[in-house]
């Protein structure tokens, strides 16, 4: 595996791979790699001849009040993990490489970004869209891999790729979970022992929603009530949002007569966690719990 820090080095490595006829897979990350990221790499390894991973803690997607300064920086450990997964190229640029002096062009995806995470984290998706398009332009992958856990991010990126005709297939990889159902996230490491225990309430709420749905409940506000009652029973948890919305538009639905997604954002202590489950679509409804 080659670890590189400049855009020129990425372009050169990708051009070499292309000359050899390889398809290119890109796994964009912010590092602090866990099994969720590794599952993206494995999927990319299965589908592409050349696998690139980027590690860049993108300052433009953090609000000033958020955890940019304290976000875990673990490049040596991350590089080892990438090596073990058979990654070909690890791109770890610094902020000036990505945002040189005078940088001032931004991606604004409409509609979707004014909801939910977009409300709680103003400017977040502008930063995500911009950095992802830059990473796509830098590495020109055939496929880019994203986890379902960041469901709204995934929808925003798909919309950007479609609206701007980026010649890239966006591949979704199901959420990876701990033994007790907690979705893997780099931010889980912020949780104290007692908060870590309490954090399973997100998974319990999703399971309760799925059980209600399976027993025939099709009223989305009734489902939301069930979810709210599970989460509010946990004193360490505070709901930011817990909604049942159309899986494509993320707009509210009254009756569940189409594919919907349950989206949760819950603060456990100081840590904000998100999770989701798709209803109406068994094929993408995965509870990946290790044996």
Binding site for ligand PAF (CB under 6 A): 28-30, 58, 61, 128, 131-132, 150, 153
Question: Which candidate in 5, 34, 37, 124 is catalytic?
Answer: 37
Q: Read out DSSP for 39-92?
A: HHHHHHHHH-SEEEEEE---GGGS-TTSSTTTS---HHHHHHHHHHTT-SEEE-
Output 223 or 274, the one with its CB closest to ligand PAF: 274
Q: Min. distance of Cβ 88 from ligand PAF in angstroms?
A: 18
Q: Min. distance of Cβ 36 from ligand PAF in angstroms?
A: 10
Output 125 or 213, the one with its CB closest to ligand PAF: 125
Max intra-chain CA distance, the chain: 58
The Cα 114–Cα 193 span in angstroms is 34
275 forms beta bridges with 264
Whether the CB-CB separation of 89 and 79 falls below 8 Å is answered with no
Q: Min. distance of Cβ 196 from ligand PAF in angstroms?
A: 21
The Cα 240–Cα 125 span in angstroms is 18
179 flagged as catalytic: no
Q: Min. distance of Cβ 117 from ligand PAF in angstroms?
A: 11
CA 122 to chain centre: 17
Q: Which two tokens stand for residue 117?
A: 């995470």
Output 85 or 150, the one with its CB closest to ligand PAF: 150
Output 187 or 218, the one with its CB closest to ligand PAF: 187
Going by their DSSP bridges, the two strands 89-91 and 2-4 should be labelled as parallel
Residues catalogued as catalytic: 37
């Amino acid at each position: 595996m080659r670890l590189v820090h400049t855009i020129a080095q990425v372009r050169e490595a990708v051009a070499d791979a292309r000359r050899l006829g390889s398809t290119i897979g890109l796994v964009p990350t912010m590092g602090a790699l866990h099994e969720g990221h590794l599952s993206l790499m494995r999927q990319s390894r299965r589908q592409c001849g050349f696998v690139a991973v980027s590690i860049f803690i993108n300052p433009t997607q953090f609000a000033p009040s958020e955890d940019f300064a304290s976000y875990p920086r673990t490049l040596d450990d991350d590089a080892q993990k990438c090596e073990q997964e058979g990654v070909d190229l690890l791109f770890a640029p610094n902020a000036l490489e990505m945002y040189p002096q005078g940088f001032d062009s931004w991606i604004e995806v409409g509609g979707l970004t004014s909801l939910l995470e977009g409300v709680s984290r103003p400017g977040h998706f502008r930063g995500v869209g911009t950095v992802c398009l830059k990473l796509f332009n830098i590495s020109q992958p055939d496929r880019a891999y994203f986890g379902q856990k960041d469901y709204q991010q995934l929808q925003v990126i798909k919309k950007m790729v479609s609206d701007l005709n980026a010649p890239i297939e966006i591949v979704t990889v199901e959420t990876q979970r701990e033994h007790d159902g907690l979705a893997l996230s780099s931010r889980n490491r912020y949780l104290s022992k007692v908060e870590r225990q309490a954090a399973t309430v997100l998974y319990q709420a999703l399971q309760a929603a799925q059980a209600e749905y399976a027993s025939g409940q099709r009223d989305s506000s009734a489902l939301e009530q069930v979810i709210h009652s599970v989460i509010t029973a946990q004193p360490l948890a505070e709901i930011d949002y817990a909604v049942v919305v159309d899986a494509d538009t993320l707009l509210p639905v009254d009756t569940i007569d189409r594919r919907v997604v349950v989206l949760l954002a819950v603060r456990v202590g100081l840590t904000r966690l998100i999770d989701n489950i798709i209803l109406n679509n068994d094929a993408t409804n995965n509870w990946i719990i290790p044996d």
